[in-house]
Chain A
Amino acid sequence: MNVRFLLLLLWMPFCAMAQGFSGLGASSDGFAMPQPQAGFAFPNDHGPHPDFSIEWWYLTANLESQDGTEYGIQWTLFRTALSPENAPGWASPQVWFAHAAVTTPNQHFTAERFARGGIGQAGVQADPFHAWIDEWSLSGPSFRALDLHAQGADFGYAMTLNAQGPLVFHGAQGFSVKSPNGQASHYYSQPFFDIKGTLNLPEGPKKVTGTAWLDREWSSQPLDDTQLGWDWFSLSFESGSKLMGFQVRDSDGGTFTSGTWIEKTGQSVTLPHGSLTLTPKAWHSVAGRDVPVTWNLQLPEYGMDVIVDAVNPNAWMGVSIPYWEGPVSVRGSHPGKGYLEMTGYE
């Protein structure tokens, strides 16, 4: 997923990303490169990979309160390395930042944090699992049972998560290809979390339950210069099956699509470029730009033809690197819920 974040990081105004990556060939700069045959070693791979330049722990959840109101939350911790060599204390080149959000049908709350590695303000430890930045955290005895906390000036949440299924690897053994030129990342997900907890909103606390999806991804490779942005979907259908699908939009109007079809049991199939079709159906003006908030997704192989609607079209993340991210509802051949993120709409 989140191919776009590779790009987002390139745009970060005060990380040396532009210089760090613009000249990046497959072997330059000293960062490790994703390897097709690497596979994973758990629990260590739940922890950070400082020899890769970028990495994230990305959680989204669709929630419902007792009165039936739909909510969405996001919690993302990013790690980026300004340079491959390590240094202790304040001189550490590791930079951490995080986004948290709560989306209600008519409101959207966001918060953002920054920290540097080396001093304990932020970090991730694999076992027992503990990811934190400031007072925000995602932690538990194992990767299958986690507590989640975050807050901003006007919202907060506290949740518990329990995995109901196995980890899912995208691409071949988690080697996920992002462009026709072969850019790739290591990518796995835990899309089977049950989640419950409390949302703290200006109008008061709300008890909620639902499902959550956690993505893990790391790489050192940027996208092509011509790739403008992407549209990424994580959908959970009422049938129990799930879909991760995205397209990267090119400046010439073309797209690169990919995805993973996930069965109820956790068995997954990688969808090659071109098999999934994503078509914007309705646009909405938010933060001075037009973004597509209704989509038609078609995957003929699985008889899937669905319409995806944003729960709140104003789910704009007005953080340092702005983008759209929010919960969606799915109707058509495979009804369900999910999350949508869109970047590169100027």
Chain B
Amino acid sequence: MMAPALWALMSHWWRNPIQFFAVIGGLALATALWCGVQAINAEARASYDAAAGVLGEGQYDQLVPRTGDTISVEDYIALRRAGWLVTPVVEHRFGAVRLLGIDPLTAPAGFAGLSAFQDQSNSFQRHSVFANAKTAETLSDELDIVVQLDVADGLAIADISVVQSFAKAKGLSRLIILPNQPMTQPLLEEIAPGLKRLAANQTADVEQLTDSFHLSLTAFGMLSFVVGLFIVHSAIGLAFEQRRGLVRTMRSLGVPMRRLLVLVAVEMGVIALIGGTLGVLLGYLIAATLLPDVAGTLQGLYGAQVSGVLEFRASWAASGIALALAGTAFAVSGRLLQIAQMPLLASGKSRAWVMARGQRSKIQGFLAVALLISAAILAGITNTLFLGFGLLACLLVGAALAFPLLVSKATQVFERRSKNATVAWFWADTRQQIPGLSLALMALLLAVSANIGVATMVSSFRLTFVGFLDQRLAPELYLQVDTKDESAALDKYLTDRGFESLPLPRADIDVQGEPARLLGVRVGPTYRQNWVFLDQIPDPWTDVKMGKGLIVNEQLARRQGLWVGHSVTLRQDLALPIVAVVGDYGNPSSQAIVSESLFADLHPQTPPLQFGVRTNDPQSLRTALVQDLGLAHNAMINQAQIKSASLEIFERTFMVTAALNVLTLGVAGFAILMSLLTLADIRVPQLAPVWAMGMTRRRLALLELARAVSLAALVFAAALPVGLALAWVLLTVVNVAAFGWQLPMFLFPAEYAGLAAYTLIAAVLAALWPVGRLLNTPPAALLQVFSNER
């Protein structure tokens, strides 16, 4: 009896292949979306880690030569033998590529590029050069190149011996000082008087900024999970609705309830596995397509040497299959309960029409209001990450639950206002369909809101980040000197030759008993044009220049509660008003900024030892400074290069995220298509009387299209505020809870208009097939409705 019963259950899919496709396809797409997001998240992290590798090179103190640009191996050995834990770095330019030689044996854990050596199974590839695929193309064939995706663009890393023999040079470029030094060591001057110590460079630490972006991408991953669950739930729910009659018949024929439940569970488990597996494969394809640098072409170019081509990770696959199973279980459990409770001779008619009516919609409305009120309360009090994600959940689920009710209300209003019978019927008929469409509508609402939210978040992030880089890395060249005389000579040299010289004096101070750093600036076009403030009085730079005001960073403002209008005491007889607050992303310490001359008054013994210079040709200025002033190569940092390298890395992730947006919409469109297709069959009896009254099938079909468009428009109208609220929560609540500073939120109307267009297109595309079927419904089928009526 088991086999015939299973056969009977399965026969439903034979007779309704489209529905089978809907369930499998829905599961597969939801799983694929989840896997794709996982892959992109992983890729984003890898990109940022690579960026941090370039930008974070300055996180260690360094030893560099006082003159010239190399350190002898003898000096290195003398330092090590004296108990100085330092590790050598050799750097050479090979065209546009920086070839970095490191000593994996003494490099600190986490040092730029060290992981490249260790990732290679467990062998130390001391003859290889590691670079990403793009950089590898530009390197010489003489080198044994291993493609390693997490190495930053424009950088190649190898063992020091490889770089030395390739560059035919013996010296070392600089020595990195390891963080944990032994108990005793002699002074540097006693061991290597020709070297000087450079403090860790603090201008380029963007780690916190990128952590914030990771967090937001994780939130996006969770959203796509929820959208996926909705789709699975909707597809399976509809399939069960249609099998109520079959279940009744089987029960009547004597199939025991328990066995029936087991059979259904097994059947759905198998379907979930098939859908999930397809989804994982699809997700892999999506990720491979979306990640331009990971596309499989590498394999062909580099043969067996390629490592790290988008790997099929067990973790995505497992999480994808788990999603499919969990989503199916979630959708099926309620239905199984219904079957279990169904009286033996209950009507086998579909209940789709009475779903979400009466009691049910009241509960739904109550829940939605409760969740949205909770979200509003949480928005006011949230100060932890946990509450932040709770707020997100309340907001999204509340909005999704409220949406079908709002649409229903809206159609009621439209119906009342319509002056023409056809229009009134159109709205009434739309409203009647809402219960059947509600899950698909919720999925679309969530997808569109997530897209609006993520687009806002990503674009705001990009604006902020680019602005931050422009602001902090505006001077193309950074210079370091050692003494007051050198400082004055350098400033004179630069000013005499018409360069905009930006001395950067700094001193440690106390602000209301808390440590902070005081910076002096030479107010000029660079600061006026590039700095963006979180809050400011009009023209703050003029006040700073006159010594009548100071600028503080956001960290100081938040920590001490000092904002524009408050004043800061710099000396007993000198308190200045704050004229602007500047976002200082990724910097943990407090800063106050005053004019160069005021700084010199306050700290006459602290000359500027660092300078920024504006120049269109950093390379020749470098050469000139070496020749004319004897500056060491190591004392000059080309910020323009660092800036363009990091921008390029970030840009890659933004593109990937944009592509993902389109994908999410596609999946939501699929949910609508499947709902409409399922409803189309059930709706024939509803359409037959209208047709009989003289409305042509063509007109009916056009009205169906119009319905899809108007529903999509309603979805977008609701998604815009929900999406913006989502972005606001991510940027100003979750980020502050996680990192203590806020990312400014910008609005992007053009992007939203584009998204609106995509939403309408997705709805129209989804409606085209059911509309086509309606156009081709034979009149006989419509007539039959009347003959069937009793």
Binding site for B on A (CB under 8 A): 12-19, 82, 89-91, 95, 97, 111, 114-116, 119-121, 132, 134-135, 151-156, 200
Q: 0/1 per residue, B142-162, Cβ < 8 Å to A?
A: 000000000000000001110
Q: Give the distance in Å from the alpha carbon of A66 to the alpha carbon of B82 in the complex.
A: 31
Q: 0/1 per residue, B43-87, Cβ < 8 Å to A?
A: 000000000000000000000000000000100110011110100
Closest to B164 in A: A90
A90/B160 in contact, CB under 8 A: yes
Interface pairs (10), CB distance under 8 Å: A13-B118, A15-B124, A19-B123, A90-B103, A90-B164, A115-B105, A119-B73, A119-B76, A134-B80, A156-B183
Q: Give the distance in Å from the alpha carbon of A224 to the alpha carbon of B161 in the complex.
A: 34
Binding site for A on B (CB under 8 A): 73, 76-77, 80-83, 85, 103-106, 117-118, 121-124, 126, 159-161, 164-165, 180-185
- Which of B106, B126, B183 contacts A114 (CB under 8 A)? B106
Apart from A14-B117, A114-B106, A135-B82, what 17 extra A-B contacts exist at CB < 8 Å? A14-B122, A14-B123, A18-B121, A18-B122, A19-B123, A111-B182, A115-B80, A115-B106, A121-B80, A132-B81, A134-B81, A134-B83, A151-B83, A151-B183, A153-B180, A153-B181, A155-B183
Q: A24 → chain B, closest Cβ, in Å?
A: 14
Q: Residues of A contacting B181 with CB < 8 Å? A: 153
Q: A205 → chain B, closest Cβ, in Å?
A: 11
Q: Give the distance in Å from the alpha carbon of A14 to the alpha carbon of B159 in the complex.
A: 12
B124/A200 in contact, CB under 8 A: no
Q: A94 → chain B, closest Cβ, in Å?
A: 11
A151/B118 in contact, CB under 8 A: no
Closest to B122 in A: A18
Q: Give the distance in Å from the alpha carbon of A154 to the alpha carbon of B181 in the complex.
A: 9
A91/B183 in contact, CB under 8 A: no
Q: B374 → chain A, closest Cβ, in Å?
A: 42
Q: Give the distance in Å from the alpha carbon of A18 to the alpha carbon of B103 in the complex.
A: 20
Q: Give the distance in Å from the alpha carbon of A2 to the alpha carbon of B628 in the complex.
A: 60
Q: Give the distance in Å from the alpha carbon of A91 to the alpha carbon of B121 in the complex.
A: 21
Q: Give the distance in Å from the alpha carbon of A13 to the alpha carbon of B73 in the complex.
A: 27
Q: Which 10 A-B pairs have the closest CB atoms?
A: A90-B161, A135-B83, A114-B105, A14-B124, A91-B161, A151-B182, A16-B123, A134-B80, A120-B77, A153-B180
Q: A154 → chain B, closest Cβ, in Å?
A: 7
Q: Residues of A contacting B185 with CB < 8 Å? A: 135
Q: Give the distance in Å from the alpha carbon of A14 to the alpha carbon of B123 in the complex.
A: 5
Closest to A137 in B: B81
Q: Residues of B contacting A14 with CB < 8 Å? A: 104, 117-118, 122-124
Q: Give the distance in Å from the alpha carbon of A90 to the alpha carbon of B163 in the complex.
A: 10
B182/A152 in contact, CB under 8 A: yes
Q: Give the distance in Å from the alpha carbon of A280 to the alpha carbon of B83 in the complex.
A: 40
Q: Residues of A contacting B126 with CB < 8 Å? A: 82
Q: Give the distance in Å from the alpha carbon of A12 to the alpha carbon of B105 in the complex.
A: 12
Q: Residues of A contacting B118 with CB < 8 Å? A: 13-14
Q: B599 → chain A, closest Cβ, in Å?
A: 37
Q: Give the distance in Å from the alpha carbon of A152 to the alpha carbon of B122 in the complex.
A: 27
Q: B241 → chain A, closest Cβ, in Å?
A: 53
Q: Residues of B contacting A120 with CB < 8 Å? A: 73, 77, 81
A89/B161 in contact, CB under 8 A: yes
B103/A116 in contact, CB under 8 A: yes
Q: Give the distance in Å from the alpha carbon of A16 to the alpha carbon of B183 in the complex.
A: 32
Among B118, B124, B159, B164, residue most surrounded by chain A Cβ atoms (within 10 Å):
B124
A154/B183 in contact, CB under 8 A: yes
Q: Give the distance in Å from the alpha carbon of A90 to the alpha carbon of B102 in the complex.
A: 11
A14-B117, A19-B123, A91-B165 known; A116+B81 contact, CB < 8 A:
no
Q: Residues of A contacting B73 with CB < 8 Å? A: 89, 119-120
Q: A17 → chain B, closest Cβ, in Å?
A: 8
Q: Residues of B contacting A111 with CB < 8 Å? A: 182
Q: Give the distance in Å from the alpha carbon of A120 to the alpha carbon of B72 in the complex.
A: 13
Q: Residues of B contacting A15 with CB < 8 Å? A: 124
Q: B179 → chain A, closest Cβ, in Å?
A: 10
Q: Give the distance in Å from the alpha carbon of A152 to the alpha carbon of B184 in the complex.
A: 9
Q: Residues of A contacting B180 with CB < 8 Å? A: 153
A14-B122, A115-B106 known; A153+B77 contact, CB < 8 A:
no
A121/B81 in contact, CB under 8 A: yes
Q: Give the distance in Å from the alpha carbon of A111 to the alpha carbon of B105 in the complex.
A: 15
Q: Give the distance in Å from the alpha carbon of A111 to the alpha carbon of B121 in the complex.
A: 26
A116/B183 in contact, CB under 8 A: no
Q: A195 → chain B, closest Cβ, in Å?
A: 20
Closest to A122 in B: B80
- Which of A13, A90, A151, A156 contacts B122 (CB under 8 A)? A13
- Which of B81, B117, B161 contacts A135 (CB under 8 A)? B81
A90-B164, A151-B184 known; A116+B123 contact, CB < 8 A:
no
Q: A320 → chain B, closest Cβ, in Å?
A: 10
Closest to B180 in A: A153
